[in-house]
Structure 1
Amino acid sequence: MSEPRTTPLHDTHAALGASFTDFGGWLMPVRYTSDLAEHHAVRAAAGLFDISHMAEFTLTGPGAAAVLDDALAGRISTMRIGKAKYSLLLDERGGVVDDVIVYRRGDEDFLVISNAGNHEAVAAAFERYIGDVVISDISDDVALIAVQGPRAREVLATTPGVELPGLDDLGYYAWLGGTFDGVDLFVARTGYTGEDGFELMVPNAFASALWDALLSAGEPAGLVPAGLASRDTLRLEAGMPLHGHELSTDILPAQAGLGRVVAMDKDTFVGKEALASASTDLPVLVGLAADGRRAGRAGYAVLDASGSVVGEITSGALSPTLGYPVAMAFVPPRFAEPGTELFIDVRGIRIPATVTALPFYRRTA
């Protein structure tokens, strides 16, 4: 078994006292001080995340938009330059190979960011289009840093060396180009926490300097470095799916509540035929809010009133923001109505839980 890879910021994390874990084949910081403190900092002020393990691909040339229309479930060709779009890469059975974000950088220039653990699967899916478009895997050339939280824009605007003309006018799911110490900087107003925030792409050689500059500028605003543990509870509260939990090749988009992402009116795309003929009675993703303090975890059974197993938890935790256990689970459609009373089997104890509309948490501004 190969050793996990490290990001260009690994030594920086170690110097900050981070604890590490293997995530998608990468040795990533799981926390620096406290999961709860890092979670609350993102909700109240800002958190700084290393997301350099993500995979990045560029598609350029006259066929780029058409290729992405065929490869992805969404309609990419109608995107405007400067915008970002969440989409899905499906297999022929309609299962989710990965969820991605596409950025249109020009008429014939797109950036696609995918999950670290699915890097090879996404690269293989794109290989079929080589010859129709120029596809470049730039994952090993760039670092990604996320600033997330209600004070994220303030932090970014006051970071020395960062020049971002137009930052004040940048909308959600949009991007702009700028510089950091004279080097090209790509900044997108996207994130995975349920808060406002930005994701910054910079050449590897400048990652540590950018991280340090952001951390120093953000400290007076309450920004802290944050690890994977807080990132997971933040995205869970925001009802955001994680591949390998709420998404997989065994799960269709509609089951995960992502039917809106699929443009079934396109002439063709990978997986369309399978989706058109799919059953409408498959298990669907729901939110569960539980009593007490004991949280259901991935793999725990969901029970009906008679004690019969009707589903399974995919992600769960005691919500730091809300103060009670929340979880996502797949259950048959007849149990999916908000307000439905179910139970979670937490190590042999039946914990009452109520089906709740996702997300559990939504920012107010």
Structure 2
Amino acid sequence: MTEASSLKTPLFDWHQSHGGRIVEFGGWLMPVQYSTIVEEHRAVRERVGLFDISHMGRLTFDGPGALDWIERVTTNHAAKLAVNQIQYSLMPNEKGGLIDDLLVYRHQHGYLVVCNASNRPNVNRQLETYCQGSNTVFHDRTLDTAMIAVQGPHAAAVVQPLFDQDLAGVRYYHLVAGRLFGELDTIVSRTGYTGEDGYELIVPSDQAVRVWEALLESGKGHGILPCGLGARDTLRFEAAMPLYGHELSAEINPYAAGVGWAVKLEKGEFVGREPLRAFKKDPGAARVGLQLESKRIARQGAEVLQGGVKVGEVTSGTFAPTLQASLAMALVEPAAAEVGTSLQVDVRGHKEPAKVVPLPFYRRPSAH
């Protein structure tokens, strides 16, 4: 997709006018950073950060067949969702590979699916393919709405003064519908992609700048910073959250990726169920954490070796700001996956010693 045809979030002009360095990501023009990735990363770990995540797809469903439709195309058991609960799920293809990972929201009026920006066309296509004459329709609300993430230990203190519902009672992976400024209908979910506590807000697109600036004003006393995609990636990486195109893809099955817990084979028929049953017995690979001895960074695609023989490949790697270590996630042969196993990573021709370490690399002290 060319820059001319890339989509812009409702906050694009704000990002550009406030020093955001803009890059193309998943078909959208997005800020990768404002100050430095490390400064923004630390703001979220220690205080609070603000992210524009309006590029994520938002799909709503109308009609009595919504639940059956969602169950048909996703792996988790959406029928078990209580009202105002959210579920991590996967959308598999017919071979058991992944079209996307997504969140399924159940609210008092029905269901909402949030998917990855670059996969939204494929998710929409899969939904259309398996509607099977349903008397339900889905609506792509991505361009009608904005989505903003407030992440970090002080997130609640920033959002609560603007919102008319009590956030203290909202549990992790739950949502509450209420009003910002006493008048603006808003969904606030206790979710995020940073490894920290926080909230994600869905608001009308024409109100995005107003909400964004109000959150920044509310967060002034808490050291809030606007943050870009760069910090979002280092934060999710330290928390070992998989990223589509890295730890997840059409060629990687959920059991190899370490998200097999989101596959409920017993729930009834769904797309890809039988191939997934076979993958559960033999995933073929395992996602592991690696710590390199040196500070060299192992990027996606770097070969993982054991005794000079390739046993896997890096999916994501960086120098982790919180942990001050060069870390990587990799898909390796099951025999090389045990914690403590000594391996090497080929970093641009240098065979760097590495050790298998537990995932996640980072877990917040107050994790639920």
The more displaced of 323-332 and 59-68 is 59-68
Deviations 1:161-211 (A, max 9, x none): x22312111110000011123121110000000000100000011000000
Deviations 1:77-116 (A, max 9, x none): 111001000000000101110000011013x610000000
What's the counterpart of residue 68 of structure 2? 66
SS, match of residue 58 in structure 1: strand
What's the counterpart of residue 216 of structure 2? 215
User: Out of 132, 139, 146, which is 2:149 matched to?
Assistant: 146
What's the counterpart of residue 6 of structure 2? 4
Amino acid at match of 1:330: L
Structure 2 Cα separation of the partners of residues 348 and 277 of structure 1: 37
What's the counterpart of residue 120 of structure 1? 121
The more displaced of 43-52 and 13-22 is 13-22
Length-normalised TM-score, structure 1: 0.96
Q: Counterparts in 2 of 1:5-154, with a 5 A limit? A: 5-106=7-108, 109-127=110-128, 128-129=130-131, 131-154=134-157
Structure 2 Cα separation of the partners of residues 132 and 240 of structure 1: 36
Quick check: 2:256–2:283 contact (8 Å CA) kept in 1? Answer: no
Quick check: 1:67–1:132 contact (8 Å CA) kept in 2? Answer: no
SS, match of residue 78 in structure 2: coil
Structure 2 Cα separation of the partners of residues 228 and 311 of structure 1: 27
Structure 2 Cα separation of the partners of residues 157 and 204 of structure 1: 21
What's the counterpart of residue 323 of structure 2? 322
Structure 2 Cα separation of the partners of residues 238 and 152 of structure 1: 18
What's the counterpart of residue 300 of structure 2? 298
Quick check: 2:97–2:254 contact (8 Å CA) kept in 1? Answer: yes
What's the counterpart of residue 275 of structure 1? 276
What's the counterpart of residue 309 of structure 2? 308
| TM superposition shift of 1:58 | 0.8
The more displaced of 190-199 and 346-355 is 346-355
Amino acid at match of 2:173: Y
SS, match of residue 77 in structure 1: helix
Quick check: 1:20–1:29 contact (8 Å CA) kept in 2? Answer: yes
SS, match of residue 220 in structure 1: helix
Taking a change above 3 Å as real, the CA distance of residues 281 and 242 of structure 1, as seen in their structure-2 partners, is closer
Quick check: 1:287–1:355 contact (8 Å CA) kept in 2? Answer: yes
| TM superposition shift of 1:281 | 5.1
What's the counterpart of residue 237 of structure 2? 236
Length-normalised TM-score, structure 2: 0.96
Amino acid at match of 1:39: H
Amino acid at match of 1:340: T
| TM superposition shift of 1:131 | 2.9
Structure 2 Cα separation of the partners of residues 353 and 60 of structure 1: 51
Structure 2 Cα separation of the partners of residues 219 and 343 of structure 1: 45
Structure 1 Cα separation of the partners of residues 347 and 98 of structure 2: 29
Structure 2 Cα separation of the partners of residues 249 and 12 of structure 1: 35
Quick check: 2:43–2:225 contact (8 Å CA) kept in 1? Answer: yes
Q: Percent identity?
A: 45
Taking a change above 3 Å as real, the CA distance of residues 29 and 281 of structure 1, as seen in their structure-2 partners, is closer
> Runs ≥4 in structure 1, deviation > 3 angstroms?
none
| TM superposition shift of 1:277 | 2.5
SS, match of residue 297 in structure 1: coil
Provide structure 2 residue ranges, at least 5 long, that are not aligned to the other structure: none
Provide structure 1 residue ranges, at least 5 long, that are not aligned to the other structure: none
SS, match of residue 79 in structure 2: coil
| TM superposition shift of 1:153 | 0.5
| TM superposition shift of 1:62 | 1.6
Quick check: 1:164–1:177 contact (8 Å CA) kept in 2? Answer: no
What's the counterpart of residue 180 of structure 2? 180
Quick check: 2:255–2:283 contact (8 Å CA) kept in 1? Answer: no
Amino acid at match of 2:146: A
Quick check: 2:165–2:179 contact (8 Å CA) kept in 1? Answer: no
Deviations 1:124-173 (A, max 9, x none): 11113163422111111000000000110111113xxx223121111100
The more displaced of 73-82 and 290-299 is 290-299
| TM superposition shift of 1:307 | 1.4
Structure 2 Cα separation of the partners of residues 164 and 323 of structure 1: 40
| TM superposition shift of 1:267 | 1.7
Amino acid at match of 1:84: I
